[in-house]
Amino acid sequence: MSAAETGAVPSFRVWALPGLPEVRAGDDIAKLIATAEPGLADGDVLLVTSKIVSKAEGRILEATDREAAIDAETVRVVARRGTLRIVENRQGLVMAAAGVDASNTPAGTVLLLPEDPDRSARAIRDGLRDTLGVEVGVVVTDTFGRPWRAGLTDVAIGAAGVRVLDDLRGGTDAYGNPLNATVVATADELAAAGDLVKGKAAGLPVAVVRGLAHVVTAHVVTAGDAAAASASADEAGARALVRGAADDMFRLGTSEAVREAVTLRRTVREFTDDPVDPGAVRRAVAAAVTAPAPHHTTPWRFVLLESEESRTRLLDAMRDAWIADLRRDGKSEESIAKRVRRGDVLRSAPYLAVPCLVMDGSHHYGDERRDTAEREMFVVAAGAGVQNFLVALAGERLGSAWVSSTMFCRSVVREVLDLPDGWDPLGAVAIGRPATAPRERPARDAEDFLTVR
């Protein structure tokens, strides 16, 4: 029963555990703790620094090159600035240097994090139960930096017998307001409290919290494998604290996010019926108009076809113009029908945008060579704007296909969309949620496209 339920003033006590020897590979952490603190009681929570767990589990590595060790433990680079890397490691944790630590370990060696910190926490909890007969919670901690906050703190990377998250959604606050998003990271709060008494350099790797028995979960043993029963009772452990990719709004650093958006920019030819957020398209246009342009001009215009009626009217007129062109070319009706069907990618999209080039601010030299170069500069600038647009759409998780067809019937497009004569349509962009995952793109080596002088 919690203090709130009994009416008592909430309080707890936390202290560091003195007397632990230097931990070596093969040591039993539970027995070392039981020897140092035989007075542990049911409902206590043990906060154990991951370094001693790693040492006991033999996760010490001879490494003259720490960077190579970080590479080996890295699954994904989240952000990089100089030699500092924030990465996702093999345990799914996003942290600096993959958790590879060169402190508190002999020169020429590094410590890796425990392979499975939740399993490590369960082993310590089970060992204390066997040795002392007590039901305690165990949190394995490590030091993290945090986005938007200076300084370091300890957080939970492994847990057993502890309610790692306290979901308050569905309840109310002191004023009766509904709690719709409040999920408290209890295990992280415990880890930070323990760090206040353990310190970073005091040689006190374990702390005990007493007075918060309500956060300790019951141990349940059922028929069958006891370890599996323990894992089930402890639910997901600290793994539940790791935010999944689908819910992570800050998954990448700035340069990495740009590179991923460029990589995600793929031609999509099949779309779902899901509506497209007009705000997302407008944000993509805002990115488009940051492209470089000659003479401080703005050679881009984007016509957004947000109604089905406007899309159908344009595509019908373009189809009729295309059929007329194909007939003039002497194509058979069967060939014409096949070609028209292949052009249906624009019809399948729930949203269309028509980027246009305008030459406002361009110079006229009266010289064909220079006037041609002037127009080419504007075309290149407009293309840069469209590329920005497509990449920004990918960043919004929208698929797109840039189709050139409007360039072959510009007068028709201008007439149907009531555009000024000086607006030159540069194709049409089909936009929507991809109906299927894109096929693997053949790898391209950038070196194949370089010439160095």
Q: What are phi and psi of 378, to 5 degrees?
A: -70, -40
Look at the chain and count its residues: 453
Q: Looking at 183, 217, 247, which one is the last position of a domain?
A: 247
**What are the pLDDT digits (tens) for 30-71?**
999 999 999 999 999 999 999 999 999 999 988 777 888 899
The reply to whether 82 falls in a domain is no
- Cα–Cα distances (Å) from 257 to 24, 112, 240, 391, in that order, read 41, 28, 25, 11
**Segments of 90-136 assigned E as strands:** 94-96, 109-111
Say if residue 269 is in the same domain as residue 362.
Answer: yes
Taking the complete model, does pTM exceed 0.85, yes or no? no
Number of C-beta neighbours around residue 1 at 10 A = 8
The answer to whether residue 69 sits within a structural domain is: no
61/109 Cα distance (integer angstroms): 5
Containing 376, the helix (H) or strand (E) segment is helix 368-395
Say how many C-beta atoms besides its own lie within 10 A of residue 56's C-beta: 21
CB of 137 within 8 A of CB of 45?
A: yes
Nearest CA to 158 out of 116, 214, 129 is that of 116
Q: Is residue 77 included in any domain, yes or no?
A: no
Number of domains observed in the structure of the chain: 2
Instruction: Single out the residue in 190, 214, 247 at which a domain terminates.
Output: 247
380 and 274 in a common domain: yes
Cα separation, 147 vs 220, whole angstroms: 38
* pLDDT tens for each residue of 424-441: 999 999 999 999 887 777
Residue 5: which pLDDT band, with cuts at 50, 70 and 90?
A: low
> For the domain that residue 173 is a member of, what is the CATH number?
3.30.1330.100
Decide if 284 contacts 396 (C-beta within 8 A): yes
Q: Pick the closest to residue 45 from 239, 204, 222, 186 (CA basis).
A: 186
pLDDT tens column, 162-220: 999 988 888 887 888 887 778 899 999 999 999 999 977 778 999 999 999 999 997 65
Residues 50 and 149 in one domain: yes
The pLDDT confidence band at residue 230, using thresholds 50, 70 and 90, is very low
